[in-house]
Amino acid sequence: MPTSANLRLSDADRAAVADRLAKHYADGRLDEAEFSERVDRAMSAKTQSDLTGLFFDLPSTVASELPPRRRHRYLGIVLLVLIVLIAVAIGQALVRSSLPWLLIGLVVFLWLRYRPGHHRRL
């Protein structure tokens, strides 16, 4: 049974490696000579082991390859969870303390007593 290092590459595998190298070249991590050398090596690779060392000195691009919409969705979910946690904490503080309920009652009483359009009798 062949190991993964001995598995043969497809044209799509070689193209994917070339695309990753092109991203690093566009980001300025590789100069033109390094890029050309590595792409030539990737395009002539026959097995996985032939690709060894192409990315040894380059950072992983897995996190940056997520589509922007997906990252934006995660940000929205995190903000929603944060808002819910803050609302629960405030709710717990209001339930456990009588002072906020007294203040709310006072505000409601004053609003009912002095609201616009309400005429007091003398």
Query: What amino acid is encoded at 30 in this protein?
Result: L
Residue 102 class from Cβ within 10 Å (0-12 exposed, 13-18 middle, 19+ buried)?
exposed
In a domain, 13, yes or no: yes
- Is 57 found in the same domain as 8? yes
- Is 98 found in the same domain as 53? no
Residue 68 pLDDT exceeds 90: no
In a domain, 53, yes or no: yes
User: Residue range 20-32: average pLDDT?
Assistant: 92
Number of domain units in the chain? 2
Q: What is the pTM of this model?
A: 0.48
Show the CA angle centred on residue 71, arms to residues 65 and 75, nearest 5°.
Answer: 160
In a domain, 122, yes or no: no
- Is 72 found in the same domain as 55? no
Taking only the tens place, the pLDDT of each residue in 75-100 is 878 888 888 888 888 777 777 776 66
* Structural domain containing residue 72: 68-114
- Is 75 found in the same domain as 49? no
In a domain, 119, yes or no: no
